[in-house]
């Protein structure tokens, strides 16, 4: 297991740590594209042949993703907005 390598192993440990971080980032990208394709209809909604239409369609799908992500964060994590938007009297 990559995470059970002892730090005393020097460069080998750093190499494995870097590999784990790369794969973690790649997994986040894969999850994003799966969400875009399957749930936000990135590929199935339209059939466009010109570049401007494709760019507009991708922007709309990404805007949907941003709105859904924001709503999920507000719902799941009460610390998302912090005390920035709390009225002064409520403090």
pLDDT digits (tens, 9 = 90+) for 14-32: 888 889 999 988 998 888 8
Q: What is the dihedral of CA 51, 53, 55, 58, to 10 degrees?
A: -140
Q: Look at residue 17 and give its three-state secondary structure.
A: helix
Total structural domains in the chain? 1
| pTM of the predicted model as reported, rounded to 2 decimal places | 0.53
**Structural domain span for residue 41:** 33-75
37 assigned to some structural domain: yes
Closest CA to 65 of 24, 30, 26, 37: 37
The pLDDT confidence band at residue 1, using thresholds 50, 70 and 90, is very low
49 assigned to some structural domain: yes
The pLDDT confidence band at residue 86, using thresholds 50, 70 and 90, is low
Average pLDDT of the chain, as a whole number: 76
Q: Supply the pLDDT for residue 62.
A: 86
pLDDT digits (tens, 9 = 90+) for 38-79: 877 777 767 778 888 888 888 888 888 888 888 877 777 766
18 assigned to some structural domain: no
Distance CA 31, CA 74 (A): 20
């Amino acid at each position: 297991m990559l995470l059970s390598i002892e730090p005393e192993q020097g460069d080998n440990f750093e190499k494995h740590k870097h590999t784990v971080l790369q794969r973690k980032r790649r997994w986040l990208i894969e999850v994003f594209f799966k969400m875009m394709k399957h749930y936000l209809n990135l590929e199935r909604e339209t059939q466009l042949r010109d570049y401007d239409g494709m760019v507009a369609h991708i922007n709309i799908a990404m805007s949907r993703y941003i709105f859904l992500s924001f709503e999920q964060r507000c719902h799941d994590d009460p610390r998302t907005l912090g005390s920035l938007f709390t009225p002064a009297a409520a403090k």
